[in-house]
């Protein structure tokens, strides 16, 4: 079971842009992946799962796309 993890902005430093990561279906939560990635919850501004805003307690499923952003903005 795999999900695609996409990292943006400073989260890419020393990590990756895009990677498939193995999960346990209906068990692995976003926060479990954060531990694996070495990203602290408080560093995160946006969690996007399959193009919709989400949160650390979201359980992931096969084929999900998880995108993580630190605090950024523009306009």
CA-based nearest residue to 4, from 54, 62, 56:
62
Nearest residue (CB) to other proteins, 21 versus 65 = 65
In the complex with other proteins, the residue whose CB is nearer, 22 or 74, is 74
Minimum distance from residue 73 beta carbon to other proteins (Å): 4
Residue 20's φ and ψ, nearest 5 degrees, are: -90, 130
Q: How far is the CB of 55 from other proteins (least distance, A)?
A: 9
| Residues near other proteins (CB under 8 A) | 6, 8-10, 12, 17, 45-46, 48, 50-53, 67, 69-75
Give the strand pairing for 46-49 and 52-53.
antiparallel
Does the CA dihedral 38-42-48-54 come out positive or negative? positive
Q: How far is the CB of 21 from other proteins (least distance, A)?
A: 17
């Amino acid at each position: 079971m795999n999900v695609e993890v996409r990292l943006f902005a400073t989260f890419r430093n020393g990590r990756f842009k895009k990677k498939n990561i193995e999960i346990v279906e209906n068990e692995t939560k976003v926060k479990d992946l954060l531990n694996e990635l070495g990203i602290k919850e408080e560093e995160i501004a946006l969690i996007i799962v399959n193009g919709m805003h989400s949160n650390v307690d979201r359980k992931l499923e096969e084929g999900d796309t998880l995108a993580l952003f630190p605090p950024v903005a523009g306009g």
